[in-house]
Structure 1
Amino acid sequence: MASSNITSVINEEIRQRKGEISTINRQIHANPELAYEEHKAHDVFVKTLESLNFQVTPHAYGLATAFSAEYGSGGRLVIYNAEYDALPGIGHACGHNLIASASFAAFLGAAAALKASGRPGRVRLLGTPAEEGGGGKLKLIEAGAYKGASACLMVHPGPGHNMPAPLRGVAFAPMLANVKMRVHFAGREAHASIAPWDGVNALDAVCLSYNAISMLRQQIRPYERIHGVFRSAGDRPNVTPADCTVEYYCRSATKCGAEVLWQRVQKCFEGAAIATGCEMRLEPINSYADLRFSRALCEAYVGAMPEGTVSLGTPADILAGSTDMGNVCYECPGFHGVFGIGTKEGQANHTKGFTAASGTEDAFERALECGRGMAEVGWKVLSDDAFAERVEKEWKEDMKQAAEGKAASI
């Protein structure tokens, strides 16, 4: 079929299924669920997809709140990630309801294109829980969810007030690698007044390490970040704290860079343990890789979106967090675009203002627009052999660059 006809098929399918997509969007936003607790989101997706006669696997890949829906056979495989976890206390302040909606729309559009063409190929909608710190995609990777994929695509909402009109989105925004670690200090209890000399103060180790890391921040690169919190720091002032725990994130432009930064931070903890006489134990949480990009996928997405509304690259301050989609990009060619929603100054991701903005009809319409664009890109991967070969070749070359510690950049 001609590309114009396929575009019409994609647009018509998404138009006809707007009601189902909107229902999912509203239900997820109105019922925020934390990492690995997204049972309502999981269930509404499974029920809706089954009603549309898709092959659906609930509780997929050993995760209670993951699902997988697929259409087609043979050929290449394109995956769309649907995120739907929320944040404690502030709900969908990262707009994962919109991510789920955009990926659902893209999946429906790409599946319709496959059906109309009669070509071989597979398109998969993957429900990916626990992006907000839970590392859900890491578990999916371990279970083989992305094995054999020719591309994986998703988009993420960001603050629209940072994007000058007519710009509404970017194809690639850098995201940092993130090494996450809990550090446990073990000392010895004592009565803080009667016999303080009998104690080994784990809180002192926490405070020494905190100050050492604060000094280290002067000596790190501009794009690197170190931040942490005290998880436990004693119970009563008159008892020498014997067991204290902190949690720290170390971010850098690449996986290699984040690991090197963590080694420097770890010395701060080790020094504090030696100085106070405490024992120290490290507990890895999960680590997110830096976000890599496929230039071919990015260029195709820009071409599929309304002219002038999406730029190829962006300054790092549009979104400079971390995501487990970075780990997926080390498994297969990846795309993680950003689209702006109607926020005001100070309403960036992870704020109550962003939660409100992510629930608006305008934000939903923008997510649908991104879904249409991703459907066209997915179809291009499935149907255009030369394009798919370019995507694969560029990804293999980029993996060599990543192994050398070089950051992705447009």
Structure 2
Amino acid sequence: MVHLKSSDHIAEDTVKRFLNNSHDAIDAADQDLRALNKAIHDNPELGYQEFYAVETISSFLQKHGYAVTKQAYGLETSFMAEIGSGGSLVIICVEYDALPDIGHACGHNLITTSSMAAFLGAAKVLQSESFPGRIRILGTPAEEGGGGKVKLIEAGAFDDEDIAAAIMAHPLAAHQFAEGYDGLAGLKFIASQKFEVEFRGRSAHAAGEPWNGVNALDAAVMAYNGISMLRQQMRPDERVHGVINDGGTAPNVIANYTRMTWLVRSPSTKRSETLLKKVQQSFNAAALSTGCEYNIIPGPTYEDLRVNDAICQQYAADMLSIGQKILVKDDNSYTASTDMGSVSYKVPSFHGAFPIPTDLGVSLHHPRFADHAGSDSAHEAAIKCGKGMAMLTIRLLTNPRLVEAARKNFNELVEV
């Protein structure tokens, strides 16, 4: 055991011992982690309804000796546990919500696994060695469109001045990675604007007196088609997609109400706002053409995910020690979005990616991805990533220069 002050320098051989001990702690908990993984995978829950997941994860933490605060920051399906004192703070984010109908085709059961492994590994070292620093495991509900991290930001979860970084990682299909690499440190996601649109018209008998109706379904269809034509003028790295949630009640009744949900995505938040204005013109045109009124209901905005080079380089360097070759950064954005992007605008952040074996043509949000996410090989990949994030956590707590470099890189990104 070493007893250090926050200003003390820790020799590299001592830090390497810490890293190896974190691996041992994760290996010792592997059976429990696999059971946790399976429990989350086999019981998928939608955003803000993850009551089983929170109870299961809380029980896991309590079994391993950690006090759990439920309903953290006022969110019913959030939680947190923290260990340590003084020094820097590393926040390890956990996701555990699923998708409608296709369960953990998002792979969030594996995010739970990798993040919990990282917390256990780093926390056991911090407990036994008594160096300054804090580690917090934070449950972040409703990533799939509900903006749990956005609500946590608003509630002050990332306001602590001593935060060195917030970290997590996401599984992707192995065939999506560059050949020869076992993972990606700098995964870029694009910004996303989510919102609902309501059209209101007037009901009438669709056969008997259709001339007395104002058709809200026509407005929704017209808006949908207008946006489809807009795609011809969109940049290749931009995305707009939507669904009609409520299209009316019966074919012989002219619909007086329809509701749609849309996502507008672009590589930066600024560009997404520009694209959003163009999309909104389709709603206005549809309302004018049909005589309907319309209303836009804003949802959570996910900012683009900003890659912190200093943190990514450290993660990649340490993963080599366990035989994992990690691509430090991919300048091409993955054209999906995450509320971790909003966190990356608040504090230095790490959102890596690890590969799980899947059939060709199967990737995130494909129904069969859920089956692959429950496999033993996927669990093993999550554990390797968890070891990497445990090492990264220890590095951030023991290396002030790394914290300074991460903060410098963060400040430069924010100023762009």
Q: Does 1:198 align with 2:209?
A: no
Deviations for 1:280-318, whole angstroms, at most 9, x for unmatched residues? 11111222111111101100110111356211123647x
Q: Does 1:22 align with 2:37?
A: no
Quote the Cα distance in structure 2 between the aligned partners of 1:244 and 1:144: 36
Native 8 Å contact 1:99 1:154 kept in 2: yes
Match for residue 137 of structure 1? 149
Q: Which runs of 5+ in 1 are unaligned?
A: 402-410
Native 8 Å contact 1:173 1:320 kept in 2: no
Quote the Cα distance in structure 1 between the aligned partners of 2:405 and 2:249: 59
Match for residue 69 of structure 2? 57
Q: Does 1:374 align with 2:352?
A: no
Native 8 Å contact 2:192 2:266 kept in 1: yes
Tell me the CA shift for residue 196 of structure 1.
Answer: 2.1
- The match for 1:100 among 99, 108, 112 is 112
For these two proteins, the number of residue pairs brought into alignment is 400
RMSD after superposition: 1.5
- The match for 1:76 among 88, 91, 109 is 88
Q: For 1:261-340, list aligned pairs within 5 A.
A: 261-306=275-320, 307=323, 309-314=325-330, 316=332, 319-340=334-355
Quote the Cα distance in structure 2 between the aligned partners of 1:186 and 1:228: 18
Match for residue 406 of structure 1? none
Tell me the CA shift for residue 20 of structure 1.
Answer: 2.1
Match for residue 369 of structure 2? 354
Native 8 Å contact 1:70 1:124 kept in 2: yes
Tell me the CA shift for residue 248 of structure 1.
Answer: 1.0
Deviations for 1:248-301, whole angstroms, at most 9, x for unmatched residues? 110000111111111110011011111211111111122211111110110011
Tell me the CA shift for residue 115 of structure 1.
Answer: 2.4
User: Which AA in structure 1 matches 2:63?
Assistant: S
Distance 1:160 1:315, change over 3 A: farther
Tell me the CA shift for residue 223 of structure 1.
Answer: 0.2
Quote the Cα distance in structure 1 between the aligned partners of 2:376 and 2:216: 51
Match for residue 115 of structure 1? 127
Quote the Cα distance in structure 1 between the aligned partners of 2:155 and 2:32: 29
Q: Does 1:11 align with 2:23?
A: yes
Quote the Cα distance in structure 2 between the aligned partners of 1:116 and 1:5: 12
Quote the Cα distance in structure 2 between the aligned partners of 1:374 and 1:103: 8
User: Which AA in structure 1 matches 2:325?
Assistant: T
Q: For 1:212-231, list aligned pairs within 5 A.
A: 212-231=226-245
TM-score using structure 2 length: 0.93
307-316 vs 4-13, greater mean Cα deviation: 307-316
184-193 vs 251-260, greater mean Cα deviation: 184-193
Native 8 Å contact 1:65 1:129 kept in 2: yes
Match for residue 4 of structure 2? none
Native 8 Å contact 1:55 1:71 kept in 2: no
Q: For 1:122-201, list aligned pairs within 5 A.
A: 122-148=134-160, 149-163=163-177, 166-201=180-215
Match for residue 5 of structure 2? none
Quote the Cα distance in structure 2 between the aligned partners of 1:93 and 1:41: 16
Match for residue 345 of structure 1? 360
User: Which AA in structure 2 matches 1:204?
Assistant: D
Native 8 Å contact 2:248 2:258 kept in 1: yes
User: Which AA in structure 1 matches 2:382?
Assistant: A
123-132 vs 46-55, greater mean Cα deviation: 46-55
Native 8 Å contact 2:214 2:290 kept in 1: yes
